[in-house]
């Protein structure tokens, strides 16, 4: 039998203007804190890539970027609890100021794992910047230096965030809703 429910963006949770305001505020804080330090922004693919592209252009301090591809959701909307490094960084973070740039922190499992991995590489400092944080205190408690916005514990898509690889291109962040697929007349 074919799938009878289809996923689509629902209510807009954060519109493009609000996103721009959040990015500008975070960039100002980071620029202030990292003056003269040339940090490496470590972006977690793929969800964080749109956020990074906007954030880096708003920063007023020299910085480098690098990417780590991690996966925690096998599929769907609930965390598998397992984290896997799909692709590692291309540069050394030893003795560098590292700022992890993440799209959303849900349970915190992904972040806790990455923080542990990066700490072992002896950075000079290690902080986290996330665009979104879900309201519930996650399973893993992590000090998050920069938080764009706290949102309710719902699954969201757009601005880099996906549902089964779709909807990353939306310029806003929306809830995800499921509707019945129209049935062909028989």
Query: Which active-site residues does the annotation give?
Result: 106
Which CB atom, from 59 or from 101, has the smaller least distance to Mg ion?
101
Under rule CB under 5 A, residue 158 binds Mg ion: no
Q: Does residue 47 interact with Mg ion by CB under 5 A?
A: yes
Residue 172 contacts which entry, Mg ion, ligand IMP, none (Cβ below 5-8 A, type-dependent) = none
CB nearer ligand IMP, residue 37 or residue 149: 149
Q: How far apart are CA 156 and CA 158, in angstroms?
A: 7
Candidates 54-62, 95-103, 128-136, 176-184; binding stretch for Mg ion (CB under 5 A)? 95-103
Q: How far is CA 186 from CA 3, 180, 183, in A?
A: 17, 17, 9
Give the nearest distance from C-beta 48 to Mg ion in angstroms: 6
Q: Which does 43 bind (CB under 5 to 8 A by kind): ligand IMP, Mg ion, none?
A: none
Q: Binding partner of residue 129 among ligand IMP, Mg ion, none, CB under 5 to 8 Å per kind? A: none
Instruction: Return residues touching Mg ion (CB under 5 A).
Output: 47, 103
């Amino acid at each position: 039998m074919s799938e009878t429910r289809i996923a689509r963006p629902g209510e807009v949770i954060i519109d493009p203007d609000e996103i721009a305001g959040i990015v500008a505020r975070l960039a100002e804080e980071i620029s202030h804190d990292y003056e003269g330090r040339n940090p490496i922004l470590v972006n977690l693919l793929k969800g964080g890539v749109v956020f990074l592209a906007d954030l880096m252009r708003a920063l007023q301090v020299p910085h480098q970027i690098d990417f780590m591809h991690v996966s925690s959701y096998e599929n769907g909307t609930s965390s598998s609890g397992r984290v896997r490094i799909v692709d590692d960084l291309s540069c050394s973070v030893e003795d560098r100021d590292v700022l992890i740039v993440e799209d959303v922190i849900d349970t915190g499992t992904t972040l806790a794992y990455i923080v542990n991995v990066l700490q072992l590489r002896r950075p000079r400092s290690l902080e986290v910047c996330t665009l979104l944080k879900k309201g519930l205190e996650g399973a893993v408690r992590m000090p998050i230096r920069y938080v764009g916005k706290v949102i309710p514990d719902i699954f969201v898509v757009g601005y880099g965030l996906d549902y089964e690889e779709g909807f990353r291109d939306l310029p806003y962040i929306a809830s995800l809703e499921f509707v019945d697929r129209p049935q062909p007349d028989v």
